[in-house]
């Protein structure tokens, strides 16, 4: 069996940044496994600009942002095995084995000193479309349509209705319009959009595409191909309101119903998964329930800004390097991190105070739109820090930074809660 100190599964922005950081922290024997024919992940199909504002101070397109990290990986001599898919991962008694396959080598096994999971996410299946009956052609997930248009150069259709106002749906509304299609409406089940404000303005408002909040698709017509779609307003319980139906003739329905971390491999290795994020439960070192197995990027929780993915991945790479260098005597002492009152989840889920860095970034999402509220951090039930936020929404990730020196002042601390409170 081949051995590598560090195996990284997935060569998207997370895997690439993790590789660069591990190398810069002294690990030389690194293997990145990527199933696609090029590294770069989802960025390769995101041809719009707006990536890297935080990291590089300029607005890059997805392929440009990816290329910067690919260059960093290549210039450090890190090996990336392309066209190679990890098909199984097992962790037994600290023995970590990744099974992978490709055309040249067939199926092979790699034993690893440490593993970083960076498999990204995939689109939620059509579940959101609660309509019984037949499915004609012309229904695509927004991400599939994005790949068809931007990578293959194929247009899925000419007259389009989009269900879901996540960023991919919004971006595809503009993209299809520019390519000559007529996007008739974007319907969103929730009373707010899950997408970034900037995308609503630049992808819908710029092209006078209506966004109908609290609306859903209730009927799809067409035998072979979609011919028309009917949408209706929904009440607070998500039930269509009679009399609000609007029918749109169209040949294409795009579904933009959100993303879900891709954790089949993590599950097969018995790694604990957080039921809210669908990503692994991790410590402040981004280490999963398996020693020496780390996770970062969209496989951990869905990010909307790639800059945060790169930051998180750099931390994972550094921590994996530290794990490989030292003979670990694990400190069992833990501080639990809890999401309360308006906070849906936190990443990480717990801290190991004896081993933590000087600062730890805790990322989280809120469960609704909050105006003039505070983010409150409580130490064992006692408010320790408050930060006022004029507005928070589920579409934009929030963060708080915990400092080791502050935690050191509370030696018996067991539980840190993050909550949203009225300002």
Partner 1 sequence: MSETYKKELTCIGCPLGCPVTVTLQDASGHCEIISVTGNTCPKGDAYARKEVTNPTRIVTTTVRVTDGAAPMVNVKTASDIPKEKISDCIAALRGVTVAAPVKIGDTILNNVAETGVAIIAAGNVTALPQEMR
Ligand X SMILES: Cc1cc2nc3c(=O)[nH]c(=O)nc-3n(C[C@H](O)[C@H](O)[C@H](O)COP(=O)(O)OP(=O)(O)OC[C@H]3O[C@@H](n4cnc5c(N)ncnc54)[C@H](O)[C@@H]3O)c2cc1C
Binder among 6, 22, 27, 50 for ligand X (CB under 6 A): 50
Contact 305, 384 (CB under 8 A): no
> Interface residues for partner 1 in 138-167 (CB under 8 A)?
149-153
Among candidate residues 178, 166, 173, 154, the one with its CA nearest the CA of residue 253: 173
- Strands (E) located in 242-369: 246-249, 252-255, 259-261, 293-295, 335-339, 343-347, 350-351, 359-366
Q: Is 103 in the site for partner 1 (CB under 8 A)?
A: no
Angle, in degrees to the nearest 10, between helices 13-24 and 306-325:
40
DSSP 131: -
Q: Is 271 in the site for ligand X (CB under 6 A)?
A: no
Q: Is 61 in the site for partner 1 (CB under 8 A)?
A: yes
* Segment interacting with partner 1 (CB under 8 A) among 197-205, 273-281, 305-313, 329-337: 197-205
Cis peptide before 348 (omega within 30 of 0): yes
Q: Which is nearer to partner 1, 299 or 375 (CB)?
A: 375
The one of ligand X, partner 1, none whose footprint includes residue 169, by CB under 5 to 8 A per kind, is none
Angle, in degrees to the nearest 10, between helices 62-75 and 13-24:
30
The one of partner 1, ligand X, none whose footprint includes residue 362, by CB under 5 to 8 A per kind, is none
Q: Is 54 in the site for partner 1 (CB under 8 A)?
A: no
The one of ligand X, partner 1, none whose footprint includes residue 357, by CB under 5 to 8 A per kind, is none
Q: Which is nearer to ligand X, 63 or 136 (CB)?
A: 63
- The C-alpha atoms of residue 64 and residue 358 are separated, in whole angstroms, by 32
| In the complex, least distance from residue 307 CB atom to ligand X, rounded to whole angstroms | 6
Q: Which is nearer to partner 1, 67 or 137 (CB)?
A: 67
* Segment interacting with partner 1 (CB under 8 A) among 62-70, 113-121, 243-251, 252-260: 62-70
* Segment interacting with ligand X (CB under 6 A) among 5-13, 67-75, 318-326, 415-423: 5-13
Binding mask 52-91 for ligand X (x = CB under 6 A): ---------------------------------xx-----
Binder among 34, 284, 287, 398 for ligand X (CB under 6 A): 34
Q: Is 357 in the site for partner 1 (CB under 8 A)?
A: no
> Interface residues for partner 1 in 381-410 (CB under 8 A)?
390-393, 396
The one of ligand X, partner 1, none whose footprint includes residue 297, by CB under 5 to 8 A per kind, is ligand X
Q: What is the widest separation between alpha-carbon atoms in the chain?
A: 68
Q: Which is nearer to partner 1, 2 or 151 (CB)?
A: 151
Contact 30, 115 (CB under 8 A): no
Q: Is 64 in the site for partner 1 (CB under 8 A)?
A: yes
- The C-alpha atoms of residue 93 and residue 204 are separated, in whole angstroms, by 53
- The C-alpha atoms of residue 29 and residue 112 are separated, in whole angstroms, by 10
Assigned token pair, 177: 């319009």
C-alpha distances (whole Å) from 309 to each of 12, 27, 244, 274, 364 are 10, 21, 41, 18, 13
Assigned token pair, 400: 């708080």
Contact 343, 364 (CB under 8 A): yes
Residues contacting residue 116 through CB under 8 Å, at least 6 positions apart:
6, 7, 8, 9, 15, 18, 22, 293, 294, 295, 296, 313, 316, 317, 320
- The C-alpha atoms of residue 297 and residue 295 are separated, in whole angstroms, by 7
Q: Which is nearer to ligand X, 231 or 299 (CB)?
A: 299
- The C-alpha atoms of residue 360 and residue 188 are separated, in whole angstroms, by 35
Q: Which is nearer to ligand X, 85 or 137 (CB)?
A: 85
Binder among 7, 8, 43, 145 for ligand X (CB under 6 A): 43
Size of the site for ligand X (CB under 6 A): 39
Q: Is 24 in the site for ligand X (CB under 6 A)?
A: no
- The C-alpha atoms of residue 264 and residue 221 are separated, in whole angstroms, by 35
Size of the site for partner 1 (CB under 8 A): 33
Neighbour tally for 219: CB within 10 Å: 14
> Interface residues for partner 1 in 361-380 (CB under 8 A)?
none
Binder among 21, 278, 298, 319 for ligand X (CB under 6 A): 298
Partnered with residue 362 across adjacent β-strands are: 400
| In the complex, least distance from residue 168 CB atom to ligand X, rounded to whole angstroms | 4
End-to-end CA distance of the chain: 58
Residues within the interface to ligand X (CB under 6 A): 9-15, 33-36, 41-43, 46, 48, 50-51, 85-86, 118-121, 146, 167-168, 171, 262, 265, 297-299, 303-307, 309
Residues within the interface to partner 1 (CB under 8 A): 37-38, 44, 47-49, 59-64, 67, 149-153, 178-179, 196-198, 200-202, 205-206, 390-393, 396
């Amino acid at each position: 069996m081949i051995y590598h100190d560090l195996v990284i599964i997935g060569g998207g922005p997370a895997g690439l940044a993790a590789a660069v950081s591990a190398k810069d922290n002294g690990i030389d024997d690194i293997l990145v496994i990527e199933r696609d024919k090029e590294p770069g992940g989802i960025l390769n199909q995101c041809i719009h600009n707006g990536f890297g504002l935080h990291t590089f101070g300029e607005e890059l397109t997805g392929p440009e942002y990816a290329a910067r990290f690919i260059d960093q990986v290549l210039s450090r001599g890190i090996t990336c095995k392309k066209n190679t898919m990890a098909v199984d991962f097992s962790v037994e008694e600290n023995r970590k084995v990744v099974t992978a396959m490709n055309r040249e080598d067939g199926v092979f096994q790699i034993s690893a000193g440490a593993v970083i999971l960076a498999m990204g996410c995939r689109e939620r299946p059509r579940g959101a479309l609660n309509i019984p009956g037949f499915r004609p052609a012309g229904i695509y997930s927004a991400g599939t349509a994005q790949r068809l248009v931007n990578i293959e150069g194929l247009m899925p259709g000419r007259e389009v209705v989009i269900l879901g106002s996540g960023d991919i749906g919004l971006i595809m509304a503009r993209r299809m319009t520019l390519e000559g299609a007529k996007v008739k409406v974007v319907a969103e089940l929730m009373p707010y959009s899950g997408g970034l404000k900037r995308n609503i303005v630049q992808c819908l408002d710029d092209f006078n595409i209506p966004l109908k909040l609290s609306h859903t698709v209730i009927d799809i017509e067409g035998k072979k191909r979609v011919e028309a779609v009917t949408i209706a307003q929904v009440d607070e319980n998500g039930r269509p309101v009679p009399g609000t139906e609007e029918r749109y003739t169209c040949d294409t329905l795009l579904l933009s119903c959100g993303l879900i971390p891709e954790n089949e491999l993590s599950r097969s290795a018995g790694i604990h998964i957080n039921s809210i994020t669908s990503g692994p439960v991790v410590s402040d070192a981004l280490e999963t329930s398996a020693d020496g197995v780390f996770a970062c990027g969209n496989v951990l929780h869905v990010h909307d800004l790639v800059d945060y993915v790169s930051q998180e991945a750099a931390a994972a790479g550094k921590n994996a390097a530290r794990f490989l260098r030292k003979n670990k005597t694990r400190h069992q002492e833990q501080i639990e991190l809890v999401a309360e009152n308006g906070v849906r989840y936190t990443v990480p889920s717990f801290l190991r105070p004896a081993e933590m860095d000087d600062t730890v970034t805790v990322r989280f999402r809120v469960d609704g739109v909050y105006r003039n509220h505070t983010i409150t951090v409580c130490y064992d039930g006692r408010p320790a820090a408050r930060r006022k936020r004029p507005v928070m929404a589920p579409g934009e990730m929030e963060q708080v930074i915990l400092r080791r020196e502050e935690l050191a002042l509370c030696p018996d601390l067991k539980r840190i809660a993050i909550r949203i409170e009225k300002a």
